[in-house]
C-alpha cells in the first residue's frame, strides 16, 4: 500500500493535484494523452476516501473495458489497501447488469432470465421482421435480454421510477467516468439518471481521442458537459509525461487542423536534448515496409544473432534507447488485414509477436456466437478450456472468408480466432455462466500479456490508452488512414475521426516513433498505387528523420503470394 494521508497527492503535479482535490459537484477533466488521467482519477478517489471521509461504498467508477476496470481497481488497491474493495468499479455493461439483477422482477423478467445467444437473437429478429419493439417482446417472452438491454432496460426502469433513481443516487453519491469522450446515447442517459445535475460526477477524457463513433459514441456529450451539469468545474491537464518532445510536437501538429479542444496544447515533461526525431520511411512495397520494421527492430534490440534465447532481452546497440526488449515495441496499423505481412516477416526473422485487435470475434455479435458455439463444442460436459478451444476453432473456420474491406483474411486472424478467449477461461475455471457473463460485459477480450517477450501488434483502436517505448505506425497512406472505401468519399466528420485515430497512434510512443507508408498495396481486390497520408503533411518536416532508401525490389512481391 502506498502512502495514505498527507502525502497522497505528493506524486501529482500542480494541475493533477487541483483536479484530484477539487471539491464535490460536477467536474470535467479535459486531459490530453499521457497527462496521467488514470493516475489523477485514482488519486482523486483515494483522496476523497482517505482524507475527506467519503465512504468508499458511495463511490462508483465506470470504464469502457474490463482491462481498464481491472487497472483502476488495482491502482486503487495500491493506494487504499482493503478499503478499495468497497468501491464499485466496472464497465457500463457490468453496471447495467447489476441494476438489472436487482430489478429483474420490475423489468418483467422471470427468475431464470439470461443473456440471449446469437442464434436466439437471430430467431427473434427473423420472427419480428424489422420491428425492434416486437423483437424485444419475443426475447422477453423467453426471459432473455440482449447486450443493449443491459443498458436500455435499466434506463427505462429508472426513467419510470423516481424512487428507484433516489435509491441509486443515495448508494452512489460519487461517480467517476473514465474516457468520457466515448459515451454513447444510452450510457449517457444512464449517467444522467444516476447523477443529479449538481451531483458529484467526475468525468475525465480527451475529445481529441474520440474514436468510437462507428459504434455509437458521441463526443458531443463531452463537449456539452457544462450545460448538462450545473456549475461544472473544468480542469485541464496539459503536461505530458509519456513522449519525447519531438514526438509530442508532431502529434500536436497532426491534430491541430480539427482539434476539438480549444487552445489544445501538450507540454513535454521530458526535455531530453538527445531525443530522436520521428523516423519516416517510404517503402516501395508492403514487403519492403515489413522488412523495414524487422531491420529496425533488429537494430534496436541489438542484433538478432546476439539475442539471448532465455529472455529476448539484450544490451542494446542503440545507447539512446537503452535496454530494450521485444515487449517494449509495438507495431500499429489501421486495419487488421495489414498485420499479415508484418507477422510473416517478423516470424521469419525469429522475432516473437503477440497480437490484439478488435476483430469480429470480439464485438458483441462475436460474443453471442461464441456462446452458441460453446454450447455445442467439445461435448456439454468437457472442461471449459477444451470447449473454448473447440469453439474458437469452429469460429476460425467460419471466419476464413475475406475481411470486411475485401482484403484477404490474415492467416494470423484465423490462428488468433482459435486461440481467443483462453486466458479468460482459465480465470473463470469451469463456470460457463460466469465466463459468458464476463465475456458479455466487457467490450473486449484481453489477449495482450504485458509480460510476454514479444513485439506487440495492434490496431489503432486496440492501442488506445497504452504506451510503448518504441512505436511503428505502418500504412500511413491515403485511403488507409484516413480509411476510404472504393467509390465513397468520407465526410469531413469521418476524416476528423480518422485524424484522431492517427493522433492516438502517434501519442502511444515514448522514445521512438516510426511512420511508414508503402508505394503500392493490395486492397479491394487489386494492387493499387498508394500515396502517403495527407495527415503527415501538416507536420513540420524538421521533426522527421528520413530513413534509408528503400531496399531493391524483390523478384516477386510477397504480398501477391496471399492470392
Ligand atoms: P491516454 O490518454 O493516452 O490514455 P493518460 O492521460 O491516461 O493517457 P497515463 O497513461 O495515465 O496517461 O500516464 C502517462 C504516463 O505518464 C504514465 O507512464 C504515468 O505513470 C506517467 N505520469 C503521469 N503523471 C505523472 C506525474 N505526475 N509524474 C510522473 N509521471 C507521471
Ligand atoms: Mg489512459
The answer to whether the CB of 37 is under 6 A from ligand 1 is yes
**pLDDT confidence of residue 396:** 56
Asked whether residue 335 carries a pLDDT value surpassing 50, the answer given is: yes
Asked whether residue 179 carries a pLDDT value surpassing 50, the answer given is: yes
**pLDDT confidence of residue 320:** 37
Q: What is the pLDDT of residues 490-501, one digit of tens each?
A: 899 999 999 999
How many angstroms separate the Cα of 106 from the Cα of each of 55, 152, 160? Answer: 29, 14, 11
| Cβ-based neighbour number of residue 281 at 10 Å | 24
**pLDDT confidence of residue 3:** 43
Residue 526 vs residue 419, higher pLDDT:
526
The answer to whether the CB of 13 is under 6 A from ligand 1 is yes
Contact present, 278 and 513 (Cβ < 8 Å)? yes
State the closest ligand 1 atom to the C-alpha of 32, by its place in the atom list counted from 1.
Answer: 2
Asked whether residue 436 carries a pLDDT value surpassing 80, the answer given is: no
Half-sphere exposure of 470 (CA within 13 A, CB side): 23
Assigned C-alpha cell, 423: 486466458
**pLDDT confidence of residue 4:** 45
Q: What is the pLDDT of residues 124-153, one digit of tens each?
A: 888 888 788 889 889 988 999 988 899 999
Pairing of strands 526-529, 520-523: antiparallel
**pLDDT confidence of residue 551:** 52
Query: E strand or H helix at 239, and its extent?
Result: strand 239-240
Query: Ligand 1: which of 35, 238, 513 to mutate, most ligand atoms within 8 Å of CB?
Result: 35
Q: How far is the CA of 466 from the centre of ligand 1 (A)?
A: 10
The pLDDT of 303-327, averaged and rounded, is 50
Least confident range of 245-259, 399-413, 523-537: 399-413
Give the bridge partners for 488, in sequence order: none
pTM of the prediction? Answer: 0.82
Q: How confident is the model at residue 559 (pLDDT cuts 50, 70, 90)?
A: very low
Q: Which ligand has the nearest atom to the CA of 467?
A: 1
Quickly list DSSP for 184-220. Answer: BHHHHHHHHHHS-TTSEEEEEE-GGG---GGGTB-TH
The pLDDT of 437-458, averaged and rounded, is 65
Residues 6+ apart with CB under 8 A from 352: 312, 326, 452, 453, 454, 455
The answer to whether the CB of 268 is under 6 A from ligand 1 is no
Average pLDDT over all residues of the chain: 83
**DSSP tally for the chain: helices H, then strands E:** 21, 19
Residue nearest to atom 18 of ligand 1 (CA): 242
Residue nearest to atom 27 of ligand 1 (CA): 12
Residue 428 vs residue 220, higher pLDDT:
220
Q: How confident is the model at residue 440 (pLDDT cuts 50, 70, 90)?
A: low
**pLDDT confidence of residue 445:** 42
Residue 299 vs residue 447, higher pLDDT:
299
The answer to whether the CB of 71 is under 6 A from ligand 1 is no
**pLDDT confidence of residue 68:** 87
**pLDDT confidence of residue 415:** 44
Coarse DSSP helix, strand, coil percentages of the chain, rounded to the nearest 5 percent: 45, 15, 35
Residue 489 vs residue 62, higher pLDDT:
62
Is 515 strand, coil or helix? strand
**ipTM > 0.95 for the complex:** yes
Q: How confident is the model at residue 344 (pLDDT cuts 50, 70, 90)?
A: very high
Beta strands in 346-432 (DSSP E): 353-356
The answer to whether the CB of 75 is under 6 A from ligand 1 is no
**pLDDT confidence of residue 309:** 40
36 annotated binding-site participant: yes
Q: What is the pLDDT of residues 268-293, one digit of tens each?
A: 999 888 999 999 999 999 999 999 99
**pLDDT confidence of residue 526:** 85
487 annotated binding-site participant: no
**pLDDT confidence of residue 372:** 67
The pLDDT of 201-205, averaged and rounded, is 97
Assigned C-alpha cell, 187: 450510457
Asked whether residue 365 carries a pLDDT value surpassing 90, the answer given is: no
Half-sphere exposure of 113 (CA within 13 A, CB side): 22
Asked whether residue 359 carries a pLDDT value surpassing 70, the answer given is: no
Residue nearest to atom 11 of ligand 1 (CA): 36
Residue nearest to atom 3 of ligand 1 (CA): 33
Q: How confident is the model at residue 489 (pLDDT cuts 50, 70, 90)?
A: confident
Q: What is the pLDDT of residues 15-34, one digit of tens each?
A: 999 999 999 999 999 999 99
Residue 269 vs residue 317, higher pLDDT:
269
Residues 6+ apart with CB under 8 A from 556: none
**pLDDT confidence of residue 118:** 73
The answer to whether the CB of 36 is under 6 A from ligand 1 is yes
The answer to whether the CB of 43 is under 6 A from ligand 1 is no
Longest Cα–Cα distance of the chain, Å, equals 74
**pLDDT confidence of residue 562:** 33
Q: How far is the CA of 531 from the centre of ligand 2 (A)?
A: 32
Residue nearest to atom 31 of ligand 1 (CA): 241
Least confident range of 274-283, 327-336, 372-381: 372-381
Q: How confident is the model at residue 370 (pLDDT cuts 50, 70, 90)?
A: low
Residue nearest to atom 2 of ligand 1 (CA): 33
**pLDDT confidence of residue 303:** 53
The pLDDT of 367-385, averaged and rounded, is 64
Residue 358 vs residue 210, higher pLDDT:
210
Q: How confident is the model at residue 398 (pLDDT cuts 50, 70, 90)?
A: low
Q: How far is the CA of 464 from the centre of ligand 2 (A)?
A: 8
Distance CA 251, CA 242 (A): 12
The pLDDT of 161-172, averaged and rounded, is 98
Quickly list DSSP for 70-108. Answer: HHHHHHHHHHHGGGGGGSEEEEHHHHHHHHHHHTTTTTT
Asked whether residue 310 carries a pLDDT value surpassing 70, the answer given is: no
How many angstroms separate the Cα of 6 from the Cα of each of 40, 47, 50, 80, 85? Answer: 16, 9, 10, 13, 22
State the closest ligand 1 atom to the C-alpha of 11, by its place in the atom list counted from 1.
Answer: 27
479 annotated binding-site participant: no
Distance CA 551, CA 513 (A): 21
The pLDDT of 64-93, averaged and rounded, is 92
**pLDDT confidence of residue 315:** 36
122 annotated binding-site participant: no
**pLDDT confidence of residue 362:** 43
Amino acid at each position: 500500500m502506498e502512502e495514505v494521508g498527507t502525502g497522497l497527492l505528493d506524486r501529482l503535479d500542480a494541475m493533477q493535484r487541483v483536479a484530484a482535490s477539487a471539491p464535490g459537484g460536477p467536474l470535467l477533466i479535459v486531459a490530453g494523452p499521457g497527462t496521467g488521467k488514470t493516475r489523477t482519477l485514482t488519486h482523486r478517489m483515494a483522496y476523497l476516501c482517505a482524507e475527506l471521509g467519503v465512504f468508499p461504498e458511495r463511490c462508483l467508477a465506470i470504464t469502457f473495458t474490463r482491462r481498464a476496470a481491472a487497472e483502476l481497481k488495482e491502482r486503487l488497491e495500491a493506494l487504499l489497501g482493503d478499503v478499495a474493495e468497497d468501491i464499485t468499479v466496472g464497465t457500463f455493461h457490468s453496471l447495467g447488469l447489476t441494476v438489472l439483477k436487482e430489478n429483474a422482477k420490475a423489468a418483467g423478467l422471470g427468475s431464470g432470465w439470461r443473456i440471449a445467444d446469437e442464434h436466439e437473437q437471430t430467431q427473434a429478429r427473423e420472427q419480428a421482421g424489422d420491428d425492434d419493439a416486437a423483437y424485444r417482446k419475443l426475447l422477453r417472452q423467453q426471459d432473455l435480454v440482449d447486450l443493449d438491454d443491459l443498458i436500455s432496460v435499466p434506463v427505462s426502469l429508472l426513467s419510470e421510477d423516481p424512487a428507484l433513481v433516489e435509491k441509486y443516487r443515495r448508494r452512489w453519491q460519487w461517480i467517476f467516468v473514465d474516457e468520457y469522450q466515448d459515451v454513447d446515447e444510452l450510457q449517457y442517459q444512464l449517467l444522467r439518471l444516476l447523477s443529479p445535475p449538481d451531483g458529484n460526477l467526475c468525468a475525465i477524457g480527451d475529445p481529441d481521442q474520440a474514436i468510437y463513433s462507428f459504434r455509437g459514441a458521441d463526443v458531443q456529450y463531452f463537449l456539452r458537459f457544462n450545460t448538462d451539469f450545473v456549475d461544472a468545474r473544468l480542469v485541464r491537464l496539459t503536461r505530458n509525461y509519456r513522449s519525447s518532445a519531438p514526438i509530442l510536437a508532431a502529434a500536436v501538429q497532426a491534430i491541430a487542423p480539427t482539434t476539438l479542444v480549444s487552445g489544445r496544447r501538450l507540454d513535454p515533461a521530458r526535455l531530453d536534448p538527445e531525443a530522436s526525431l520521428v523516423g519516416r520511411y517510404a517503402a516501395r512495397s508492403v514487403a519492403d515496409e515489413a522488412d523495414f520494421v524487422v531491420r529496425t527492430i533488429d537494430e534496436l534490440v541489438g542484433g538478432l544473432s546476439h539475442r539471448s534465447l532465455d529472455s529476448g532481452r539484450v544490451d542494446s546497440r542503440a545507447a539512446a534507447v537503452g535496454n530494450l526488449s521485444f515487449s517494449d515495441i509495438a507495431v500499429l496499423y489501421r486495419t487488421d488485414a495489414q498485420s499479415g505481412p508484418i507477422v510473416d516477416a517478423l516470424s521469419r526473422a525469429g522475432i516473437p509477436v503477440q497480437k490484439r485487435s478488435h476483430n469480429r470475434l470480439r464485438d458483441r455479435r462475436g460474443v453471442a456466437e461464441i456462446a452458441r458455439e460453446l454450447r455445442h463444442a467439445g461435448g456439454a460436459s468437457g472442461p471449459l478450456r477444451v470447449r473454448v478451444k473447440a469453439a474458437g476453432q469452429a469460429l476460425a473456420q467460419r471466419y476464413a472468408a475475406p475481411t470486411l474491406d475485401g482484403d484477404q483474411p490474415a492467416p494470423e486472424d484465423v490462428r488468433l480466432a482459435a486461440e481467443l478467449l483462453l486466458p479468460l477461461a482459465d480465470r473463470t475455471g469451469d463456470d460457463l455462466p460466469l465466463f459468458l457473463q464476463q465475456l458479455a460485459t466487457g467490450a473486449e477480450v484481453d489477449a495482450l500479456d504485458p509480460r510476454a517477450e514479444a513485439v506487440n501488434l495492434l490496431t489503432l483502436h486496440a492501442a488506445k490508452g497504452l504506451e510503448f517505448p518504441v512505436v511503428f505506425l505502418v500504412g500511413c497512406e491515403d485511403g488507409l488512414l484516413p480509411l476510404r472505401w472504393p467509390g465513397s468519399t468520407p465526410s469531413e466528420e469521418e476524416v476528423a475521426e480518422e485524424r484522431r485515430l492517427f493522433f492516438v497512434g502517434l501519442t502511444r510512443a515514448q522514445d521512438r516513433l516510426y511512420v511508414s507508408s508503402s508505394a503500392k498495396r493490395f486492397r479491394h481486390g487489386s494492387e493499387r498505387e498508394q500515396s502517403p497520408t495527407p495527415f503527415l503533411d501538416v507536420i513540420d518536416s524538421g521533426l522527421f528523420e528520413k530513413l534509408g532508401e528503400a531496399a531493391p525490389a524483390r523478384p516477386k512481391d510477397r504480398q501477391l503470394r496471399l492470392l
